[in-house]
Structure 1
Amino acid sequence: MSHNGIDQNPRTALVVVAHHRSDSLTEHLAARTVTRLEADGYRVDLLDLRAEGFDPRMTEADEPDWGNREKTYSPEVHEHMERIFAAEVVIAVFPVYWASLPALLKGWIDRVWNYGFAYGRSKPRLAGKRMLWLGLAGMAAGDPLVDFLQQSLEGQLNLGIAYYCGFSHSAVGLLPDAEERRQRMDADGQLRIDAATAGVERVAQYADLERRADAFVTNFLAAEPVPV
């Protein structure tokens, strides 16, 4: 901290948002997350995969070469690697599709979190970094499948990705009730879609979603870095 109270070495964060619409709730919560981090003294790099035109499809240039972990990947992927490497904290904000990541975010991980960079070394280059996955789900909070979805995402994201890449801590913040028409499975396994919320009820629904998202970010930043 300098004599004038300005931190000359602020903490760094990368916020990655993956949605196909600029007016989505996902984009809104990503913006709130940026504001929250900046208020806590972080220097934030916002990576909007849609806005930046990122192509999630694997290319020959970015295909792993198992015989060469020093492979030079495409300039675009190299630039994204540098942005990850520069961040102490990485927060991904995304809609949950089919109990997993949307293609835009999954393809970013496929192409950028690549062999020789994110994994494949005895001392991981990403060791010590921390990861929060904020996933918006359309199912109702009371749906029994919420517990399954939480466990599924924790297995995929905390263990299958963050732990594998050497992160010191990874957490999943699942946000059900993200749709104005909540979805649920009934006792017969049939999908039921509620009537759309409106008026005061809708305002309250989204205010609660914002509160839960803010709480996930606050608790994540306050948590001691412990292995996943």
Structure 2
Amino acid sequence: MKVLWLAAHPEERSLNGSLKDEGLRTLRAHGHEVQLSDLYAMKWNPVVDADDFDHTPGARLQISAAAERAHGNGTLSPDIRAEQEKVTWADTLVVQFPLWWYGMPAILKGWFDRVFVKGFAYGINDPATGQPLRYGDGPLTGKRAMTVVTAGARPSSIGPRGVNGDLNDLLFPLHHGTFWYTGMSVVPPFFVPSADRMTPTTFEDTVDRLRDRLLDLPSTPPLPFRRQNSADYDPETLTLRPDLAPHTTGPALHYTETP
């Protein structure tokens, strides 16, 4: 594998820092190529603004159009271009972060905002049909993605009946709305609950599980999301056919089977 490991935690001595180090060590020891984007260590700028683009001062800034134009012209800011080169090089993305307020840390969200621009990660149409290539098709088709997520919540509270909700629902915006939208296959997340109550024994168990998941990544079945450009969706309304999952609502609609 060629793995881009994208990490977002401000403390190198944290559980996240330790898991990152163990994960990178495991991949390299087994002959995989790895690049690391440690966003806090890089002091990554998460804010989209006109400086990202070759933008005419004083003109109205239309983000997606400006980003697409700058990407096509090769005039995106150098830090964005460097990250896009890593994504292009990789066949696998590992995205690691603590779950803060039901989402990614702002620095990681800003990485996607600035790097996954139109023309690079989305905004491509099928030349034969004119259909937008997204949700299972797209510029990043052929790549795999896995999240490594820590949370302070106890395991029983994150699940179908847990007060914190189901993990697949919590990660749906990233898994489905970012990875799958751009064409990447999404393997089930590696989840570490009770992160602030970890003992040396549970840490070793967690590291063993992480090693196994990383080495099995190439053969792990992906989450069974439905492709937009399939017979499952009405091409005009982009809604699921009424005969499919008629009594289901929410994110569960968009899986071909329960993950």
| Change beyond 3 A, Cα 1:212–1:153 | farther
Pairing partner for 1:168 from 162, 167, 185: 185
Alpha-carbon distance in 2 for matches of 1:40, 1:51: 26
Look up the match of 2:76.
73
| Change beyond 3 A, Cα 1:170–1:58 | farther
Pairing partner for 1:98 from 76, 97, 101: 101
Look up the match of 1:84.
87
Preserved contact between residue 158 and residue 172 of structure 1 (Cα < 8 Å): no
1:99 Cα deviation from its structure 2 partner: 1.4
Structure 2 residue 200 is matched with structure 1 residue 203: yes
Alpha-carbon distance in 1 for matches of 2:216, 2:118: 31
Instruction: List per-residue Cα deviations over 1:170-206 (Å, max 9, x = no partner).
Output: 43222112112xxxxxxxxxxxxxxxx7xxxx22222
| Change beyond 3 A, Cα 1:212–1:68 | closer
The structure with the largest strand share of the pair is: 1
Preserved contact between residue 99 and residue 152 of structure 1 (Cα < 8 Å): no
Q: TM-score, normalised by structure 2?
A: 0.69
Q: Please state whether the residue corresponding to 2:139 is helix, strand or coil.
A: coil
Alpha-carbon distance in 2 for matches of 1:169, 1:108: 19
Look up the match of 2:213.
216
Alignment of 1:1-228 (within 5 A): 11-62=1-52, 64-66=63-65, 69-71=68-70, 72-122=75-125, 124-144=138-158, 145=162, 148-180=165-197, 202-224=199-221, 228=225
1:212 partner amino acid: R
Preserved contact between residue 9 and residue 16 of structure 2 (Cα < 8 Å): yes
Aligned residues: 198
| Change beyond 3 A, Cα 1:35–1:60 | same
Instruction: List per-residue Cα deviations over 1:60-85 (Å, max 9, x = no partner).
Output: 23373337723232111011110111
Q: Please state whether the residue corresponding to 1:171 is helix, strand or coil.
A: coil
Percent of aligned pairs sharing the same letter: 29
Preserved contact between residue 177 and residue 209 of structure 1 (Cα < 8 Å): no
Instruction: List per-residue Cα deviations over 1:148-190 (Å, max 9, x = no partner).
Output: 241223411211111111113343222112112xxxxxxxxxx
Preserved contact between residue 187 and residue 220 of structure 2 (Cα < 8 Å): no
Alpha-carbon distance in 1 for matches of 2:67, 2:21: 39
1:23 Cα deviation from its structure 2 partner: 1.2
Preserved contact between residue 6 and residue 94 of structure 2 (Cα < 8 Å): yes
Alpha-carbon distance in 1 for matches of 2:80, 2:224: 27
Preserved contact between residue 167 and residue 227 of structure 1 (Cα < 8 Å): no
1:174 partner amino acid: F
Instruction: List per-residue Cα deviations over 1:5-60 (Å, max 9, x = no partner).
Output: xxxxxx31111111111211111111111122123321110111111111112222
| Change beyond 3 A, Cα 1:105–1:32 | same
Q: TM-score, normalised by structure 1?
A: 0.78
Q: Please state whether the residue corresponding to 1:135 is helix, strand or coil.
A: strand
Alpha-carbon distance in 1 for matches of 2:208, 2:67: 46
Q: Please state whether the residue corresponding to 1:81 is helix, strand or coil.
A: helix
